[in-house]
Amino acid sequence: MVTAMMNPMAATTGTANMGMGMGMPMPASMTPNMVMVPRCTMKVEKCAGGMKMTCVCDDPAACTMMQNLCAMMAGGMCSVCCTMNGMTVCCCNMTMAMCKCEMTANGCCLTCTSGDKMCCDMIQACCDCIMGCMKAGCACCVMMGGTPVCCCMC
């Protein structure tokens, strides 16, 4: 799949096995866990009560994969992680929001809202942060329940 990005899903690195002898196979529990994540175009905007993220895939296979991941992970906590040069710039966890995922013809739309004024302000502050990171050239990864569902390079 041309429109997919590799995303490390474990905190282990190659340095974790420094004490092991040369030529010995690394146990499965110590190998980095990687997952293919669909690449998309993401638009983030404020809306009444919170924010809205629209993820669009041009590739039909990537779109189907993203929609399946969203359907499987629906109901899990939504978060957005922005990175630049492999380092995390910000990670917004929508613990204060009710996140709803709707499928579109070529992707999905995540709406994170809250009826509480203070929570709405936090959600919209996260929206501003994500938009600023995207404008600066960060790679952003949308996760549901801790599982990446789509990534974009802006």
Residue 63 neighbours by CB under 8 Å, 6+ apart = 38, 57, 106, 107
3-state secondary structure the chain: CCCEEEEECCCCCHHHHCCCCCCCCCCHHHCCCEEEEEECEEEEEEECCEEEEEEECCCHHHHHHHHHHHHHHCCCCEEEEEEECCEEEEEEECCCCEEEEEEECCEEEEEEECCCHHHHHHHHHHHHHHHHHHHHCCEEEEEECCEEEEEEEC
User: pLDDT at position 78, please?
Assistant: 93
Alpha-carbon gap, residue 71 to 86, rounded angstroms: 28
Taking only the tens place, the pLDDT of each residue in 14-38 is 444 444 444 555 555 555 656 677 7
Q: Which two tokens stand for residue 2?
A: 């041309």
pTM score above 0.85: no
User: pLDDT at position 92, please?
Assistant: 95
